[in-house]
Structure 1
C-alpha cells in the first residue's frame, strides 16, 4: 500500500477538500498494540490496488501524533479507537470501523457504492 503519512492537522482540512473528488481512507495505528499491527498486516496483505484504484490512503501513527487523532475524532464526529479506519467522502466520514472489524472487503464494498453510477 502506498501510504501518505499524517503528521499535521492541516492535512485533515486538505483531506476534507480532496474527498470531494475521490474517497480518502485514514488508518489510525497504534505502534504499541498487537491488534493494531495485526489489522494493518491483514489490510496490507489483502489490498488490491486495481480493485480500489482511486482512493487516497493516509496512515496516522497515533502514538506519535495523538493530537491529530483527537482532531480527527472531533472533525469527523467519530469516537477515538485504535486501530481504526475512516472513509471520508465529500468532507464527511461515511464509514468507520475498528479492531477486528477492519476488513478489506468492507472497504471495497464502500468504495464500490461510492463509485457506482
Structure 2
C-alpha cells in the first residue's frame, strides 16, 4: 500500500479509512542524507515536502484534501516528498535547518533551486495553487 498504507488508519481496533485514489506520486523522505539529494533535485525541477503527523486529525484531513485536489498532470512538473513526523523527527528537524523554515505540522514546503520559495501549514496548505505557481 506504500506511503498511504498506514497514513489513514484510525487508532487500533477501528476500521481503516478508504483511500480510493492517490493523485500524488509520493516519495518517502526517511533519511537526513536524502535531503541533500532533494536540494540537488530542486535545481532541475521544483520539489515539494509534506510534513505529516499520523496522529493529528488536522494533518490527516489536510493531506487527504491536498492529495485529492492535486492535478495528476503536475506529477510531471514537481516531485512531492512525504515525511512521517512520528517516525522521522530527525529528518523533519533537518528539513527545517536546511531550508530555514520553522517547524509546523502539517506543513508543506516548495523547494526551488535549493531554497524554500513557499511554505504553508495547517489548512493553508490546501489553498496553495501549484498549477498557477508551476506554470
User: TM-score when scaled to structure 1?
Assistant: 0.90
What corresponds to 1:44 in structure 2? 67
Q: 2:95 aligns with which of 72, 75, 78?
A: 72
- Equivalent pairs counted in the alignment come to 112
Alignment deviations for residues 3-44 of structure 1 (CA, whole Å, 9 cap, x no partner): 110110011000110100000000000001000000001011
Q: Describe the shift of the 1:111–1:71 C-alpha distance in structure 2 as closer, same or farther (beyond 3 A).
A: same
Residue ranges of structure 1 left out of the alignment (5+ in a row): 113-117
User: TM-score when scaled to structure 2?
Assistant: 0.79
Structure 1 SS opposite 2:129: helix
Structure 2 SS opposite 1:7: coil
1:53 Cα deviation after fit: 2.5
Question: Take 1:8 and 1:46, find their aligned partners in 2: how far apart are those partners?
Answer: 28
What corresponds to 1:63 in structure 2? 86
Question: Take 2:37 and 2:26, find their aligned partners in 1: how far apart are those partners?
Answer: 16
Please say which structure displays the higher CA radius of gyration.
2
Residue ranges of structure 2 left out of the alignment (5+ in a row): 1-23
What corresponds to 1:3 in structure 2? 26
8 Å Cα contact 1:52-1:111 kept in structure 2: no
8 Å Cα contact 2:49-2:108 kept in structure 1: yes
8 Å Cα contact 2:25-2:75 kept in structure 1: no
> Greater RCO between the two (CA within 8 Å, min separation 6)?
1
